[in-house]
Structure 1
């Protein structure tokens, strides 16, 4: 059947057509699917590991979360920063005012809006202090990233720290050895640490950005970009006054278990492919 996903009425009709049942209603099919352990209509995206240095790079990040670097415990004057950019935060100026929620009625946000521009939100999250330093920029790039680094590294306790580790992904704003050299040249006590390719989920600042998306940006009803920036800065102040470090539970042992399962899965697929080609 040329269907990637079936509706309950379609499944009910198909069951009757195949003589699986003399009659079954769509609501009954819906109830069966709700109760069943397998949910074939649900899916999750994933990407296979392609970085040859994945284990080494991932373990390095996980060790920093555990306050370890090259098998040595970090000192009190050493810090770990998780940094990245949240791009294209729009100011969607709704054509009609948003209606507040009422009894048995959700808040109503007008579907049509005028575009008030977009900005990038750059944030540096201190993993162990749960403190955020952020800024807004018209766009991303190496210069906006360096502006964030300067903003953080010229303030205490980072300015006089022995070392400040900056965990970043492989985005164009801070990719490769060139970005690492640029950072260390500007601030000798700064160390740039890259996550593996396609492994931004290892970067804790992404958790903070998910909170920003839920609590600050959605449902995106702003009058202009200035209001977006003001809201983001106000949220930073609120976060820094009350936040606790994220309870990060994924360790290097979990990493090794994950890689072992992936190797086993890959080996099984290779055997299946070899058997199919032989047949």
Structure 2
């Protein structure tokens, strides 16, 4: 005997509007939206079999939700609270496990959300939520190094004092060299920027050689005196120092040149020391070891790297040197001073930390 088709459900206008909202909403649970579709199809007169086929569920499921709506209305479609105490994740346990290295059997250096979740037998989304709340990022790592210079305090105070309160009638220059700048030429022409397209270049290149950029940044104005040399030795550095001295000649008032430099060996070579001794108006200030970031010319090096060197293509070292000189000429036309803001006390407060390792091992 064939099953008689179930009569159409009677759905009030208010309930129908709410059911339709459930089927459209992205914030409603998928199960609830599915039940709303079942009831709406049943209310439109579709049979249980046809409704089941359209929604992708079994016929008994359609019958069950029809009955729930028939007897309890919209409230019958909503999941009822489950009995028993809700599961509570031990947040402290997750954090403690994260901060410990993974067991050797996993063969990894740090946890991932899925691996830790598997280890703790919880959901990986739970691990991710705990990490976000606690600000833990095991997949990231940064490098650091504390200065071991025995004259750290004196050098920081000296250099920062020079930046913040330079001697009267003196010129302060930040000097360094950017070595091994490569003259790279792409194997295919660079495709320029277009609307909705960024600049594109081939990944392979031809290397035509390298150059070394010597630069002296005048702190007060931001102007740069520079030279490109094929080598990076004390000979080239001494030649550059003579160029700087000529760029800032003695005007008869005893004007001093104060040079801020790092501890590279060429800066302390015997020939350089002898030349400095013969030119007493030039005073050298060394940054602490492992603290070349205190040399302001490094800021300018980062600018020329981003704006010219990295994005350029060069058919030869001569071409590279010409592009560097072109940038320097343009820079000096629009130069601006670099303002140092940190005091010596602020720097030393972070620098004087407990020793964590021996840098000489």
Once the two structures are superposed, residues 2-46 of structure 1 have per-residue CA deviations (whole angstroms, 9 ceiling, x without a partner) of 22355xxx532541453112xx57xx9778867762323222211
Query: For 1:253, which of 321, 345, 353 is the aligned residue?
Result: 345
Q: The residue matched to 1:122 in structure 2 has which SS?
A: strand
Return the alpha-carbon distance in structure 2 between the equivalents of residues 222 and 31 of structure 1: 49
TM-score of the two chains, using structure 1 as the length reference? 0.80
Query: For 2:273, which of 169, 176, 180 is the aligned residue?
Result: 180
Return the alpha-carbon distance in structure 2 between the equivalents of residues 112 and 237 of structure 1: 30
Q: Which residue of 1 aligns with 2:137?
A: 39
Please, which runs of 5 or more residues in structure 2 have no aligned partner?
A: 1-105
Q: Which residue of 2 aligns with 1:60?
A: 158
Return the alpha-carbon distance in structure 1 between the equivalents of residues 345 and 179 of structure 2: 33
- The structure, 1 or 2, with the larger RCO (C-alpha pairs under 8 Å, 6+ apart) is 1
Q: Which residue of 1 aligns with 2:98?
A: none
Change (3 A) 1:178 1:137: closer
Return the alpha-carbon distance in structure 1 between the equivalents of residues 348 and 248 of structure 2: 37
Please, which runs of 5 or more residues in structure 1 have no aligned partner?
A: 69-73, 271-279
More strand, by proportion: 1
* C-alpha deviation, 1:231, in angstroms: 1.4
More helix, by proportion: 2
Q: Which residue of 2 aligns with 1:2?
A: 107
The equivalences for 1:186-201 within 5 A come to 187-201=279-293
* C-alpha deviation, 1:257, in angstroms: 2.1
The answer to whether the Cα contact below 8 Å between 2:163 and 2:219 also exists between their aligned partners in 1 is: yes
* C-alpha deviation, 1:137, in angstroms: 0.1
Change (3 A) 1:17 1:188: closer
TM-score of the two chains, using structure 2 as the length reference? 0.63
Q: Which residue of 2 aligns with 1:48?
A: 146
The answer to whether the Cα contact below 8 Å between 1:152 and 1:158 also exists between their aligned partners in 2 is: no
The equivalences for 1:1-279 within 5 A come to 1-5=106-110, 11-12=113-114, 14-16=116-118, 18-21=120-123, 24=124, 37-68=135-166, 74-76=167-169, 78-156=170-248, 160=252, 162-175=255-268, 179-185=272-278, 187-260=279-352, 262=353, 265-266=354-355
* C-alpha deviation, 1:204, in angstroms: 0.6
* C-alpha deviation, 1:109, in angstroms: 1.5
Q: The residue matched to 1:222 in structure 2 has which SS?
A: coil
